[in-house]
Amino acid sequence: MQSYPLLLLLLLLAAIALSPICAHKGGATAKYSYITSRSNVRIKRLKNFKKYKTKLLLSPGEHNQHGISIPSMLLSKRIIFLSSPVYPHISEQIISQLLYLEYESKRKPIHLYINSTGDLENNKIINLNGITDVISIIDVIEYISSDVYTYCLGKAYGISCILASSGKKGFRFSLKNSSFCLNQSYSVIPFNQATNIEIQNKEIMNTKRKVVEIIANNTGKDKSHIEQILERDRYFSAPEAVEFNLVDHILEKE
């Protein structure tokens, strides 16, 4: 009989000793559940943020393409945009894009938008071989089966003007306030032996003849008239460019 009170006392002490542990576990569980619940809310918000952020990068009707760049989107619409002086790597890029679009479809036209100062930047020559680079682009335009429509947006000076006039006739366009300029190609003959200077001079004159032939063919003007025009810088407004037959139409909102 005396053992029962002792047994009850031991059970009571054991219960008292275990109660803080149970309380701690219960509190931790409740706290953990609270954190998990808040994390779920945060994760959902982050997912929504990513969804809306992604939508800003997508073009209309192309929700399967994430993070598409503007040049890539334009190229997918068969648009090439020359918006800088004609650096060597720019001419290579335009040629590669023309060949790619030709490979993609030989029946659909290619749209070449131009806003360029040619081989000049801040009145400084940036590409001594700019004219030969543009002649290469024109050769590719004439080589491929796809028609190339040209559009002048702002300005087309020097070699860029020649390029703008080399689109398919009847599909050479300009905005109403765009300006054009025809001039001689810029060349610099470095210090060299007299014989080499003579050779280089012949090559420069040969290139000039090519330019005269291209412009004469694009505009329907006599070569002698083009040679006279190229003696000095000649600027054209959009209506004057249409009259000179550098472009065919001025684009205006209907």
| Claim to verify: residue 62 and residue 146 sit in the same structural domain | no
Residues 6+ apart with CB under 8 A from 121: 85
Query: Which CATH number does the domain housing residue 93 bear?
Result: 3.90.226.10
| Claim to verify: residue 14 and residue 84 sit in the same structural domain | no
| Claim to verify: residue 103 and residue 55 sit in the same structural domain | no
| Claim to verify: residue 53 and residue 84 sit in the same structural domain | no
The tally of CA atoms less than 13 A away on the side-chain side of residue 239 is: 0
Residues 6+ apart with CB under 8 A from 27: none
| Claim to verify: residue 92 and residue 7 sit in the same structural domain | no
This prediction's pTM: 0.71
Q: Which of 40, 68, 96 is the last residue in one of the domains? A: 68
| Claim to verify: residue 13 and residue 56 sit in the same structural domain | yes
Q: Which of 45, 68, 91 is the last residue in one of the domains? A: 68
Q: CA angle, corner 253, sides to 250 and 254, nearest 5?
A: 110
pLDDT at position 95: 96
Tally Cβ neighbours within 10 Å of residue 107.
Answer: 7
| Claim to verify: residue 4 and residue 42 sit in the same structural domain | yes
Q: Which of 24, 51, 68 is the last residue in one of the domains? A: 68
Full domain range(s) for residue 2 = 1-68
| Claim to verify: residue 177 and residue 106 sit in the same structural domain | yes
Number of domains in the chain: 2
Residues 6+ apart with CB under 8 A from 242: 174, 248, 249, 250
Residues 6+ apart with CB under 8 A from 85: 116, 117, 118, 119, 120, 121, 126, 127, 130
| Claim to verify: residue 55 and residue 91 sit in the same structural domain | no
pLDDT at position 60: 46
**Integer angstrom CA distances of residue 132 from 4, 24, 35, 185, 245:** 112, 82, 68, 9, 23
pLDDT at position 195: 83
| Claim to verify: residue 96 and residue 152 sit in the same structural domain | yes
| Claim to verify: residue 42 and residue 83 sit in the same structural domain | no
pLDDT at position 222: 96
pLDDT at position 67: 60
| Claim to verify: residue 138 and residue 109 sit in the same structural domain | yes
pLDDT tens digits in sequence order for the chain, 254 residues long? 555 555 555 565 655 555 544 444 444 444 433 333 333 433 333 343 333 333 333 444 554 455 668 888 899 999 999 999 898 899 999 999 999 999 999 999 999 999 999 887 766 666 667 888 999 999 999 999 999 999 999 999 999 999 999 999 999 999 999 999 998 876 656 667 888 878 888 888 888 899 999 999 999 999 999 999 998 999 999 999 999 999 999 998 87
pLDDT at position 254: 74
